[in-house]
Structure 1
Amino acid sequence: MKATEANLLKFLRKSPQFVIPIYQRNYSWTADQCRQLWSDLMRAGRDEKVNAHFIGSIVYVERGLSSVTSQEALLVIDGQQRLTTSTLLIAALAKHFEVKGLGELLEAFSNKKLRNYYLLNPDEEGDRHFKLILSETDKDTLLAILQNTPMPPEASSRINENYALFQELIATHQGELEAICQGLAKLVIVDVSLDRAQDNPQLIFESMNSTGLELSQADLIRNYILMGLEPKLQTELYKTYWRPMERAFGQAAYVVHFDAFMRHYLTAKTGEIPNVREVYVAFKSFARGLKGDTRDLVTDIHAYASYYCAMALGTETDAALKQAFHDLRELKVDVAYPFLLDVYHDYKQGRLTSEEVLQVVRLVESYVFRRAICAIPTNSLNKTFAGLSRSLKKDRYLESVQATFLLLPSYRRFPSDEEFQRDIKLRDLYNFRSRSYWLRRLENHGRKERVVVEGYTIEHILPQNEALSQEWQLEIGPDWQRVQQDWLHTLGNLTLTGYNSEYSDRPFAYKRDQVSDKDGNPVGFAHSPLKLNLGLGKVNKWDEAAIKARADRLAGDAAKVWGAPQLAHDVLEAYRPAAAKFGQQYSLTDHPHLSVGMMRDLFEALRKSVLALDPCITEEFLKLYVAYKAETNFVDVVPQAKRLRLSLNMPFHEVDDPEGHCKDVSDLGRWGNGDVEVGLSNLDELPYVMGLIRQSFDRQMGGPQDD
């Protein structure tokens, strides 16, 4: 590698041609970045004391072997953004000279010299005629500007907009044309040329501290896959797989969604969830472990990207699946995508029918919604879905999914109908994050002619107004304030209407029978076509009993909309792990050190504190230790004569132990699970030890380290 400081204009003039490799991202500098470059240029041009302004580095490698008679084009590894922006600025300046009919200003500043020195190779033809060749749409747009020809059908908006911006800036400052030229002449870069035989472009590319737009994980991954290939194979794989994938995402969505897709893809492939800031690192590790060639990898990514677009971007063609994926998006169930990517892949491989995929998607939806209603923390969902497909029996796919959901442990459980119906009747659903979602699903379940819920507003049958009218107070009874507080935002009191302003805070009987539209047609609850309002016309009095009765009915409907898996007992038992079928074989009496005395009292205090951490925690007595589990064991207790020896199931380097009580037992044989050991000898030590145990529990439950 050779790096030297170089004047930008001299650098452009001496270079035969720059080519942006096909795998590089499109030109993406914004107007703000262009204005910053302009501001720096003007400051340098106006101030004689400023000798130079550094704009960054340009890293390149020769496309092939050059000779005296034939200079090869230079492949740009880093610096595309500033190189393209500089070209647009020079092109705008040349155009200004041409339109205004200006002669030469300073040395080498005229329309002809700007074009022939820095934009074109005047003696060459075809693509070799141009100093800079961009990729894809960017190329055609830039060449149209340089040749003054019509724009291509899919012109690059960024190139067009930034070229127009520079034209505008030059026109605004045309009285300072000399300063503009002086500033341009003072721009300096670091010229970094790579040796094809000795330098690794990918490693250098990764280590560059660019002054432009930060590269996304997607940019890094694409470059990692394609950069080391021969140009012919690069072009083939890009045009056949990568470019169609970018088009499927859409230009704007690609930037937003591809990093997320790749994280889900890696989770589906490895069962491990990459840190959101280290997707590229995880991808490199994954790619290096593959046995196939690059074509196999790109083909697989392309296929999974099409699955992701179907689910996350609405490109699914099957109408029922398209609606189900829409509902998942509205519910914000991104954590399920790794599992659903595998499901969709199996669907494309013929292992499931579209109807079975639909049932799986609806089960995922029900699982997530029921847990949200039952206020079960969501921090275990990513781990649940990351490994779900690996536990399935693919020859009995749907049955296996149902059994897996039904057998999830308590913290990850699929809430039963009883739990779900109990909680949905009591939950504040008005302030629920997916309010329009649950109303739409409840209203449209079983309908062929769907109701567009967005055309309605949510109505509190018992009004929100704290100063209830006398009519309402009499209807509810002397306890009206408590009833309003307890039931106002709950399922039984909420509905939809197109006549919210007409209903206002009127008494129930008026809302039921007397509301009419502008033509005098009755539109009260008794005449509403909405399923949510069925039965309201037969209710005589809207009080606590009426709210509860309606909540009971709607909760029953909700249990059908968001259904739970149903399997025969003998079928489910066949999926139950063998150890779980036989139950626990040991008890407290099998541990003599815990029979009586100080160790028994200490153990009872510890077990009470551990079980109080969360309702999901279970206790299991084994032959040599007592295990406390959530996802799996997070702390194991080995009773000893004078202390309780605890094993924390976490890496030693992650434990926060300021008092230094923990011991690294990763290389030692010990009963219990984990690399961290700590002793508990008396009650005074319990608060500190519980702080250590809490770390192991939080880590297992998928805390902040998964982000």
Structure 2
Amino acid sequence: MSKLNIDQKSVRTLFSDKKSDFLIPDYQRPYAWGEKECQTLWDDLFLFAFPESNCDKFNSESDEYFLGPIVTFKNDDGKMEIIDGQQRLTTLMLLLRAFYEKYGSMRNDKAVKTSKFIEQCIWKTDEFGDPDKSALKIDSEVATDKDKEEFLNILKTGTLTEKEKSSYANNYRFFQQKIAEFLNTYPDWFSFFPIRIINNCILLPIEAESQDTALRIFSTLNDRGKPLSDADIFKAQFYKYYSNKGEKEQFIRRWKELEVLCDSIFHPMTGTPMDELFTRYMYYERAKQGIKSSTTEALRKFYEKNAYALLKNDQTFDNLIDLAYFWNDVQNQSIERFSDRILRKLFVLNYAPNGMWTYFVSVYYMANRDSQGMLEDEKFYKFLNKITAFIWAYAITNPGVNALRTPVFAEMINVVNDRPVSFMEYQFGTQQLQNAFNNYVFSNNRAITKSILTWWAFQNPEQELLSLETTLEIEHIFSKNRQDKEHSLSNPRNLESLGNKVLLEKRINIRASDYRFSDKVKYYIGFENSRKQKKAGTRIKELLELAENVCDFTEADIAQRNAKIIFSFIEFMHSNALLDEN
């Protein structure tokens, strides 16, 4: 069992301890606290130090304010590597340095004593307690933090220039301003505030015997700072691996480049962009291990197996980088990597009812790429068609992404073993699918509605590829406002049927939403306004064809178009061998 050293300590006791030599390691994220967090800390500390804005209501013997845990482990150089608490510890150092800068020039006894205590918190001291102002109690080696030298310089000198605009500099200025305001407002209390912070504010240092233990402890803590992501913890494992190989600097550079790349590609609802990359890659490794369970492990749990064995080899990191560049080319619609027909299929999949397709495609890419990172076009095209058909149909017949896991995970294993994707055990009956479409309510708030309409738009061979940055909304061809005023639809359900809905660019949808079809036409095809400004029309080919060929869009047109969309999708399922013909 791992041993832990846990003993709550005041800021002064912890920081001034001669054994305290803190290091913010390479794999940590850059300092991220801003004025909002600093304001909260200042307000909390002020209310604690001066209860009810009264200096005399503070009990220095018993009053305590808990600042939170600091999780560390002692590395091979004897330094206390900070796993959790970096943001808090860094901010406290800036706050103490700002106090020292103001109080250091004051010569009354209380100010001198307070300054002495702060010196012992910031700098290493000799046996008489005198500081060596070239030797700080904290150091930063954060590889991705270009401003860390500003932090260290602030602690050493207490001075700033106007050119320094980092978070460290801004927060230090904030504390300087707050301290100046405090002295002007409460001049008689000036010695009490910093001494109550360092003597009565409590930290909980948790010193683990190893980095792995410290990371596990961190993962169970929920503090008010900015916690490490799963990817940060994985970086620590890679960092150790490449450091042992003598490739530390190369790894730091490549990791930083990968972070920048992922930030531009992925925008997950939860977790970080790097977490998203590790998640997509995880499904490839799961499939290689033959795991088809619909219950997926947490990301960290998966990678920490066998002492993070998966992260202790070159191939994994190289694969992650390769996978990131693949998705970068998907996002940028790279014509060097993909044919036009592949890009059209990928555009449609970007409007999938859930994100499962990204994991499926990631597995396919990793298993089928050649040495240049290219995929065979015809084979990839057929794969994208099949998964589009299956995912769309499954979303209608078995709503919920969790239901999709069982068939997709099984097919992922087929992909990595070079077996065809068939979904043989999950074939759809033609009548079953027809009935599902007829009974399904395709409301705008259901993701599958836009999915079907996107697929339908690109069934038109003349539909041009659109940018993924295009904002598309759902347009009612026969407008809601028209129905509200005229009540001309005999079956009100037709208003929300697929036959009455189409994709339309947001900029046009706002203007065209409440008009009769004959009035909408000019917005669909584009027009020149009264100021002779040209307003571009839609790039949705079906709408342009409607605008050019019909004068009105009636209930009969809705029903006919609805039947055509459903029939075409069932034919699409048939062409992908997903219908049970028995």
Of 327-336 and 435-444, the range deviating more from structure 2: 435-444
The structural deviation recorded for 1:89 is 1.3
Match of 2:477 in 1: 460
Q: Does the CA contact (< 8 Å) of 1:430 and 1:490 recur in 2?
A: no
Instruction: Give the 3-state SS of the residue equivalent to 1:24 in structure 2.
Output: coil
Match of 1:340 in 2: 361
Which residue of 173, 185, 190 corresponds with 2:182?
Answer: 173
Aligned partner of 1:548: which letter? A
Which residue of 523, 534, 545 corresponds with 2:556?
Answer: 545
Instruction: Give the 3-state SS of the residue equivalent to 1:387 in structure 2.
Output: helix
Q: Does the CA contact (< 8 Å) of 2:396 and 2:436 recur in 1?
A: no
The structural deviation recorded for 1:545 is 3.3
Q: Does the CA contact (< 8 Å) of 1:304 and 1:345 recur in 2?
A: yes
Which residue of 521, 542, 551 corresponds with 1:531?
Answer: 542
Match of 1:446 in 2: 461
CA distance in 1, matches of 2:425, 2:490: 41
Q: Deviations over 1:15-45 (max 9, x none)?
A: 5742112123433456565445434432443
- Pair 1:493 & 2:500 matched: yes
Which residue of 203, 216, 220 corresponds with 1:206?
Answer: 216
> Could you tell me the percent identity over the aligned residues?
17
Match of 1:612 in 2: none
- Pair 1:12 & 2:12 matched: no
Matches within 5 A, 1:293-312: 293-307=312-326
Instruction: Give the 3-state SS of the residue equivalent to 1:349 in structure 2.
Output: coil
The structural deviation recorded for 1:423 is 2.6
Match of 1:185 in 2: 198
CA distance in 1, matches of 2:335, 2:556: 45
Aligned partner of 1:381: which letter? L
Match of 2:283 in 1: 267
Of 169-178 and 429-438, the range deviating more from structure 2: 429-438
Matches within 5 A, 1:4-403: 4-13=7-16, 14-15=18-19, 17-29=21-33, 33-46=37-50, 47-51=57-61, 52-64=64-76, 73-96=79-102, 102=106, 106-108=110-112, 114=118, 118=122, 123=132, 131-136=138-143, 137=145, 139-143=148-152, 145-146=154-155, 148=159, 157=167, 159-174=168-183, 175-176=185-186, 177-186=190-199, 187-191=201-205, 199-207=209-217, 209=221, 211-213=223-225, 214-223=227-236, 226=239, 235-236=248-249, 238-239=251-252, 241-250=254-263, 255-270=271-286, 271-272=291-292, 278-285=298-305, 293-307=312-326, 318=337, 320=340, 324-325=345-346, 327-350=348-371, 352-354=375-377, 356-373=379-396, 378-392=401-415, 400-401=420-421
Of 377-386 and 250-259, the range deviating more from structure 2: 250-259
Residue-pair matches, total = 530
Q: Does the CA contact (< 8 Å) of 1:373 and 1:423 recur in 2?
A: yes
Q: Deviations over 1:604-649 (max 9, x none)?
A: xxxxxxxxxxxxxxxxxxxxxxxxxxxxxxxxxxxxxxxxxxxxxx
Instruction: Give the 3-state SS of the residue equivalent to 1:75 in structure 2.
Output: strand
Q: Does the CA contact (< 8 Å) of 2:353 and 2:447 recur in 1?
A: no
Matches within 5 A, 1:626-637: none
Q: Which runs of 5+ in 2 are unaligned?
A: 51-56, 126-130
The structural deviation recorded for 1:344 is 1.5
CA distance in 2, matches of 1:315, 1:109: 65
Q: Does the CA contact (< 8 Å) of 1:264 and 1:338 recur in 2?
A: yes
Of 533-542 and 381-390, the range deviating more from structure 2: 533-542
Q: Does the CA contact (< 8 Å) of 2:478 and 2:554 recur in 1?
A: no
Instruction: Give the 3-state SS of the residue equivalent to 1:106 in structure 2.
Output: helix
Instruction: Give the 3-state SS of the residue equivalent to 1:132 in structure 2.
Output: strand
TM normalised by structure 2 equals: 0.71
CA distance in 2, matches of 1:237, 1:215: 22
Q: Does the CA contact (< 8 Å) of 1:539 and 1:546 recur in 2?
A: no
The 1:314/1:206 distance shift into structure 2, 3 A limit, reads farther
The structural deviation recorded for 1:383 is 2.3
Q: Does the CA contact (< 8 Å) of 2:352 and 2:451 recur in 1?
A: yes
Q: Deviations over 1:527-581 (max 9, x none)?
A: 9984235356655775543333333445566678xx44747x9xx9xxxxxxx99
Taking only aligned residues, the RMSD between alpha carbons, in angstroms, comes to 5.0
Q: Deviations over 1:332-377 (max 9, x none)?
A: 5322333222212134335832564354334323322233355655
The 1:166/1:456 distance shift into structure 2, 3 A limit, reads same
Q: Deviations over 1:654-679 (max 9, x none)?
A: xxxxxxxxxxxxxxxxxxxxxxxxxx
Q: Which structure has the higher relative contact order (CA within 8 Å, separation 6+)? A: 2
Q: Does the CA contact (< 8 Å) of 1:144 and 1:150 recur in 2?
A: no
CA distance in 2, matches of 1:80, 1:110: 25
The 1:425/1:204 distance shift into structure 2, 3 A limit, reads closer
CA distance in 1, matches of 2:254, 2:224: 28
TM normalised by structure 1 equals: 0.60
The structure whose Rg is larger is 1
Q: Does the CA contact (< 8 Å) of 2:277 and 2:320 recur in 1?
A: no
Q: Does the CA contact (< 8 Å) of 1:59 and 1:192 recur in 2?
A: yes
CA distance in 1, matches of 2:360, 2:346: 13
Instruction: Give the 3-state SS of the residue equivalent to 1:55 in structure 2.
Output: strand
